[in-house]
Amino acid sequence: MRKTCSKATNTHVSPRFSLRLARTLVVAAVFILSVAAQLTYAAPGDLYESDGGSNHIFKFTPGGAKSIFASGLNSPVGLAFDRTGNLFEADEGSGNIYKFTPGGVKSPFASGLSFPFGLAFNSTGNLFEADGGSGRIFRFTPGGVKSIFASGLSLPVGLAFDSAGNLFEADAVLGRIFRFTPGGVKSIFASGLSLPFGLAFNSAGNLFEADYGRNTIFNRFTPTGTPTAFASGLSKPTFLAFQPVIIPEGSTLRLLVVGALGLVCLRRMVKA
């Protein structure tokens, strides 16, 4: 017969055992709450911007409040978040890609690149990099294995994926944004821009573009490519990235569920 935490079952448990079980559940509950607290990173929807003029990465709240996330970089350009909230930064001056944990701890991910610019993750966790010096877009597996996705480009800089898996690429020389289907078919999405660099989609599916030539961030591109201004008066805006909504992994979710069930049992035991 399967045991439950009902009041009837509790009548067959000794008081001493019930006390030990209650203490264990209290300790587990405290642990669960501490784990949940650690999963609270930066507020989802914050906008991160790599600022070439100051060598900083700035963070903007949805209301536009600005703060410094990282400094002392060497020409920071491309930014992208992975599914666990780590921020990846293409360091054009050093030819490296760096990874920042949600707490700001920095480590190298890839090196020896030729003017790395835009970064973007696809839905399977592969990192795409616009390599300006070689005119290519490279793909990195989560383990760092590198392969070519597209070649023969003019000057690929900003990259961003939409929800359908299409890859958008900003071409600074041509002043255009190109779209690649998952199968690699290329088409023009927007033109007439002034040194377009960073691209990023928000949770509503709107495309944001850092227009280096106009010191402006544009957003809400129409189907014909006409943008509206989101922020202006910046100092050489380069690349953009939105803080994603962090969802706990399966093991953590199971732990939270077990903790919640334990709390329910504890309440029933106390009432008994």
The 10s digit of each residue's pLDDT in 212-269 is 999 999 887 766 667 888 998 998 887 777 776 655 555 444 433 444 444 344 345 4
Give the pLDDT of residue 50: 83
Q: HSE-up of 172 (CA within 13 Å, CB side)?
A: 23
C-alpha 189/C-alpha 222 separation (Å) is 10
Q: How confident is the model at residue 6 (pLDDT cuts 50, 70, 90)?
A: very low
Beta bridge partners of 89: 79, 98
Q: Which of 23-37, 126-140, 230-244 has the lowest mean pLDDT?
A: 23-37
CA triplet 214, 198, 127: central angle to 5 degrees?
170
Does residue 5 surpass a pLDDT of 50? Answer: no
Which amino acid, residue 244?
Answer: P
Q: Are the C-beta atoms of residues 239 and 158 closer than 8 Å to each other?
A: yes
Q: How confident is the model at residue 272 (pLDDT cuts 50, 70, 90)?
A: low
Does residue 35 surpass a pLDDT of 90? Answer: no
C-alpha 193/C-alpha 210 separation (Å) is 10
Give the pLDDT of residue 16: 54
Q: How confident is the model at residue 201 (pLDDT cuts 50, 70, 90)?
A: confident
Residue with tokens 């559940």: 25
Does residue 271 surpass a pLDDT of 60? Answer: no
C-alpha 69/C-alpha 101 separation (Å) is 11
Which one of 2.120.10.30, 3.30.300.30, 2.30.30.60, 2.130.10.10 gives the CATH number of domain 47-242? 2.120.10.30
Q: How confident is the model at residue 21 (pLDDT cuts 50, 70, 90)?
A: very low
Task: Give the other-Cβ count within 10 Å of 254's Cβ.
Answer: 11
Give the pLDDT of residue 223: 62
Tokens of 91: 């360091």
pLDDT digits (tens, 9 = 90+) for 161-183: 999 999 999 999 999 999 999 88
Q: HSE-up of 82 (CA within 13 Å, CB side)?
A: 20
The residue among 122, 180, 138, 130 whose CA lies nearest residue 156 is 130
Dmax over CA atoms of the chain, in Å, equals: 78
Alpha carbon distances (Å) from 11 to 5, 14, 247, 262:
10, 8, 39, 18
Give the pLDDT of residue 224: 63
Mean pLDDT of the region 130-155: 93
Q: Are the C-beta atoms of residues 97 and 108 closer than 8 Å to each other?
A: yes
Give the pLDDT of residue 245: 65
pLDDT digits (tens, 9 = 90+) for 44-99: 678 888 888 899 898 888 888 898 899 889 998 888 889 888 999 999 999 999 99
Give the pLDDT of residue 168: 95
Domain spans in the chain, listed from the N-terminal domain onward: 7-39+249-271, 47-242
C-alpha 170/C-alpha 90 separation (Å) is 15
Name the DSSP letter for residue 53: T
